[in-house]
């Protein structure tokens, strides 16, 4: 993701809109506005902004001239925060993006914990936290790459007709980062 794209995405409402379109599929400004508790005009403006930056596109197979459907663009995007930390023009956008990402992940976890799940699903989920690792930067990079490869092995194509009817959408939130030891601050 380049600086222009980051600035185009780094808005709380745009990030929520993109997340809904990515996770739940196509929707209209009216549908998104209802789900987000926002005015349709405001949502429409943000949808056009996301489209201008290539994050979403109109779903031309749906709707009418009055009702436009939008869908997330299926593209792999990586954000290397190091590309923006020293850029004063992007630092604010990076801060908003990171804050909103962490806030979204937190809300998704707390929602999961508050919901009443069938025991099979409740017992299958996990919140994993390990604090007993001591790694070099190279090892941490390798760990993250290997975990991403493992997750990719479980990815199935969208709309896979062979998908198990018992399958449900699953969010994987992985956070791995160094921490300062007590006394080293």
CATH number of the domain that 64 lies in? Answer: 1.10.10.10
Q: What is the per-residue pLDDT across 101-112, written as a single tens digit (0 to 9) for each?
A: 999 999 999 999
Site of tokens 């017992």: 123
Beta-bridged to residue 71, according to DSSP, are 57
**Stretch 133-150: mean pLDDT, rounded?**
94
**Stretch 150-169: mean pLDDT, rounded?**
79
The pLDDT of residue 79 is: 83
Residue 87 lies in a domain: yes
**Residue 185 confidence (pLDDT) above 60:** no
Residue 71 lies in a domain: yes
The pLDDT of residue 159 is: 60
The pLDDT of residue 64 is: 76
Residue 55 lies in a domain: yes
Here the contacts of 35-38 (C-beta below 8 Å, separation 24 or greater) are 38/13
**DSSP one-letter string for the chain:** --HHHHHHH-SHHHHHHHHHHHHH--EEHHHHHHHHT--HHHHHHHHHHHHHTTSEEE-TTS--SSS-EEEE--------GGGTTT-HHHHHHHHHHHHHHHHHHHHHHHHHHHS---HHHHHH------------HHHHHHHHHHHHHHHHHT---TT-TTS-TT-------------PPTT--
Q: Provide the percentage of residues in the chain whose pLDDT is more than 70.
A: 94
Q: What is the per-residue pLDDT across 68-97, written as a single tens digit (0 to 9) for each?
A: 999 999 877 788 888 888 888 888 999 999
Q: What does the DSSP 8-state code read for residue 155?
A: -
The pLDDT of residue 174 is: 85
**Stretch 4-9: mean pLDDT, rounded?**
92
Residue 152 lies in a domain: no
Between CA 97 and CA 30 the distance in angstroms is 25
The pLDDT of residue 139 is: 97
Between CA 5 and CA 1 the distance in angstroms is 6
The pLDDT of residue 184 is: 65
Residue 18 lies in a domain: yes
Residue 31 lies in a domain: yes
Q: Tell me the pairing of strands 27-28 and 69-72.
A: antiparallel
Q: What does the DSSP 8-state code read for residue 47?
A: H
Structure tokens at 63: 């709707």
The total number of structural domains in the chain stands at 1
Residue 83 lies in a domain: yes
Q: What is the per-residue pLDDT across 42-63, written as a single tens digit (0 to 9) for each?
A: 999 999 999 999 999 999 888 7
Give residue 42's domain range: 3-117
pTM score of the predicted model = 0.81
Q: What is the per-residue pLDDT across 160-179, written as a single tens digit (0 to 9) for each?
A: 666 788 888 888 988 877 87
């Amino acid at each position: 993701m380049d600086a222009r794209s980051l600035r185009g995405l780094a808005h709380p409402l745009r990030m929520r809109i993109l997340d809904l379109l990515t996770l739940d599929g196509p929707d209209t400004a009216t549908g998104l506005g209802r789900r987000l508790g926002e005015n349709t005009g405001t949502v429409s403006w943000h949808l056009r902004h996301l489209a201008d930056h290539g994050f979403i596109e109109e779903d031309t197979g749906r709707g009418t001239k009055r009702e436009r459907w939008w869908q997330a663009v299926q593209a792999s995007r990586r954000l290397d925060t190091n590309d923006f930390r020293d850029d004063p023009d992007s630092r604010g956008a990076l801060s908003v993006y990171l804050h909103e990402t962490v806030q979204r992940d937190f809300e998704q976890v707390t929602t999961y914990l508050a919901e009443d799940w069938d025991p099979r699903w409740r017992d299958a989920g996990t919140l994993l936290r390990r604090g007993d690792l001591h790694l070099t930067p190279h090892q941490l990079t390798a760990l993250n790459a290997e975990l991403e490869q493992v997750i990719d092995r479980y990815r199935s194509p969208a709309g896979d007709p062979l998908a198990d009817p018992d399958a449900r959408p699953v969010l994987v939130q992985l956070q791995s980062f160094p921490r300062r030891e007590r006394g080293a601050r």
